[in-house]
Amino acid sequence: MNKPTDESQIMKMEQPIFLQPMPPARPASRLQRLGDAMRRYRRLILGVQWAVVVFYLALVMIPAFLPLPGTGASVLNNLTLLAQFMFWGIWWPFVIVATLTMGRVWCGVLCPEGTLTELASRHGLGRPVPRWLKWGGWPFAAFVITTVYGQLVSVYEYPKAVLLVLGGSTVAAIAVGFVYGRGKRVWCRHLCPVSGVFALLARLAPVHFRVDRKKWDAAASTHPVPVDCAPLLDMRRMKSGSQCHMCGRCSGQRDAVTLAPRLPGAEVANLKAAEAGAWEARLLVFGIIGTAVGAFQWSSSPWFVAIKTRVAEWLIERDSFALLQDNAPWWLLTHYPEANDVFTWLDGIGVLTYIGATALILGSWITLWLRLAGALLPGDAKQNSRWIAYAFIPLGGLGVFLGLSALTVTLLKAEGVIMPWLPEVRGALLALAALWSLWLGWRMLQRISRWRKVFALGALGAAIGGNVFAWMLQFYIW
Ligand code: SF4
């Protein structure tokens, strides 16, 4: 029996979650055994998922109804600060690291939104996924909108903003799950604001669920029970780890699916130019790099302060005070008078402009050099440049980690933890990320003739230099 390949066909199949038969005995490596154990102990994973859901909902909801922490409050005695530290100090930076090292295990084993959207989908309307929802630009649009909006309402600092941004995303995940799919994660596959980021980072992971196509086809008649693959993957043809949630439900299926090691970045190194996606390249260059750098940078940028002050002076000289008002509601712009933290309309416009300009300038710089590199290679220059853009995944991923860990550092400093070694560690991580990207580019260009390769790598190096300079501004120059 052939496996269906269309998403709607995959969704129509009844795939009971607990009835996953175990594969026949086979000589197994430790990783294989781990993958098989994930399938065997599915109930345990479900228990962990629901514990995370309860913990997550408590940290998202309760602090929003508590007063803001006073002076002397600490993560050890204040739930709001504890939630802030858990979300932005630990959760986010280390989800990035986990995805780089273990693939999307966060999505498949721990993510509360994934758990809730799948449950809603199991008891919902079961409608097929409409075409508009499959638009390839959603991961880019959702990431950029969430990142920018999060800055406008100061999501890193205030629990009401957390409830709005994270809670809103969770409600949307449940609603999408309720309407579409049958026990599937339509939200995760198409709309989750970070699924595009995780899909790119997972391509570097040194472990993945490998599918042996020959074994799969040969065993077709002996393994009739389908696997409950929540993100709607066509396992038989799966070659990439980017969309796999590493849930382990398919481990050992038809004796063909195995949790296996691979060289970090091997998937990207072996990617063909024709397989590169335009939206993935845009998400990487203008989203994960351009927008994220702007979002992490604006609050420490002297340029932001100088330009905003100049504009404010210019407005005052002309008796124009409308943009200097601070009467925007908290759900539109940061508004916490009790913490002396209130955005004027000018602040809001300034943040939007700074992030937008950074995304545009940095993204265009990188795109320019990637286009040059693409033109040096045989074939379609535009498609080549999208393909080479994938070499930026290590720098993009570790850049986001560095940006998020800056929050960890700020929160730890507030707790009295001093880290004198921080500049050296940041420098080493930045250098490692830049060299990893260059090395990945070199591996991708292996089959290209020597001189073309050298010039294309030079162009990639110039693009990487622009990204590194942006981080150096924030960590060393300002
Ligand atoms: S292919 Fe599907 S079922 Fe298998 S591990 Fe990945 S997400 Fe889970």
* pLDDT one-digit tens code per residue, 234-247: 988 999 999 999 99
Ligand 1 center to 126 CA (angstroms)? 20
Mean pLDDT on 324-328: 94
Does any ligand 1 atom lie closer than 6 A to the CB of residue 226? no
**What is the residue with the minimal CA distance to atom 6 of ligand 1?**
244
pLDDT of 12 reads: 45
195 CB neighbour count, 10 Å cutoff: 26
Is the CB of residue 270 less than 8 Å from the CB of residue 224? no
Distance 9 CA to ligand 1 centre (A): 17
Cβ contact 165:332 at 8 Å: no
Tell me which residue has its CA closest to atom 1 in ligand 1: 244
Rounded distance from Cα 123 to ligand 1 centre (Å): 21
CB contact at 8 A, 351 and 295: no
The fraction of the chain above a pLDDT of 70, given in percent, is: 93
Residue pLDDT, tens place only, 376-417: 999 999 999 999 999 999 999 999 999 999 888 988 888 888
Three-state secondary-structure class, residue 158: coil
Whole-number Å distance, alpha carbon 247 to ligand 1 midpoint, is 5
- For β-strands 257-261 and 335-336, DSSP reports them as unpaired
Q: Tell me which amino acid residue 464 is.
A: I
Average pLDDT rounded to a whole number, residues 280-289: 97
The pTM is what?
Answer: 0.90
pLDDT at 14: 39
pLDDT for the residue numbered 374: 95
- Helices first, then strands: H and E counts in the chain: 22, 4
pLDDT digits (tens, 9 = 90+) for 191-248: 999 999 999 999 999 999 999 999 988 886 665 678 889 999 998 899 999 999 999 9
What residue's CA is closest to ligand 1, atom 2? 229
CA of 246 to the centre of ligand 1 (A): 5
**For residue 26, pLDDT beyond 80:** no
For residues 401 and 97, is the Cβ–Cβ distance under 8 A? yes
